Amino acid sequence: MGYELRVERDAPLAYAELASVSAQAGFELRGSQEAGEVVARHGDSVHPVAIWSGRLYGEPASDWQVAQLARLTDLMGARLVGEDGEAYGIRNGVVEQINGSSTYEFGKLEEILAAGPTEWSA
């Protein structure tokens, strides 16, 4: 298991709402109300973005996955939070991580999405 980013919001997220938002944003929701995943297409293949198990979270291995998670989270009016309490989001078209007073920019959303899911090297 990798580093987990969880989707948090004040109102509980219902599966039907997740399905609706996912479809409107071009994501695909696979599985059932009990267990599933949100995937996104890049080129001719699909790649995991988030895991659904009554709650929504992801274990990204690329900037592309972080960007897709941040995009999905924004569309749901939620927050994307890491295990250490840092927040992830999109501001002015830039994907960023905020931890206290420090900000790390992943890059421009469009460029990250166009580049695709290139995994981080260890």
The amino acid that residue 5 corresponds to is L
DSSP, residue by residue, 57-105: EE--SSHHHHHHHHHHHHHTT-EEEETTS-EEEEETTEEEEEETTEEEE
Q: How confident is the model at residue 2 (pLDDT cuts 50, 70, 90)?
A: low
Question: Do residues 117 and 42 touch, judged by C-beta distance below 8 A?
Answer: yes
pLDDT for 65-81, tens place per residue? 999 999 999 999 999 99
pLDDT for 3-62, tens place per residue? 899 999 998 899 999 999 999 889 999 999 999 999 999 999 999 999 999 999 999 999
pLDDT for 78-116, tens place per residue? 999 999 999 999 999 999 999 999 999 999 999 999 999
Full-model pTM: 0.92
Question: Do residues 66 and 117 touch, judged by C-beta distance below 8 A?
Answer: no
